[in-house]
Amino acid sequence: MTIYQMVPPHPPFDYGSSVRVSATPNPYEFSQGSVCGFRTIDDPSVAEKRGVAVGTVCVLVENESGLAIEMLASDLEIV
């Protein structure tokens, strides 16, 4: 069964916003960076693999060394 989630077009972040990981424990390779993109998960198989609902917003975050990771918006907070 596919679960759909209604979300605004973008999470409460803008391009260039400084963010940090608020998830505990931190499942990502770094804890702070800048927003450099957004993606909405629209494929049911990808959503199932990530353990989230279709429509979940992911945020691409880049750290100071240039490494970028796609994170769930719900795992982030503005610095």
Instruction: pLDDT tens for the chain, 79 residues: list them.
Output: 555 555 555 568 888 999 999 888 888 888 999 999 999 899 999 999 989 889 888 999 999 899 999 998 888 999 9
pLDDT value at position 10?
58
* pTM check: above 0.95: no
Whole-number Cα distances in Å, 40 to 2, 24, 55, 57 = 15, 23, 6, 4
pLDDT value at position 61?
94
Tell me, what DSSP letter sits at residue 3?
-
pLDDT value at position 43?
94
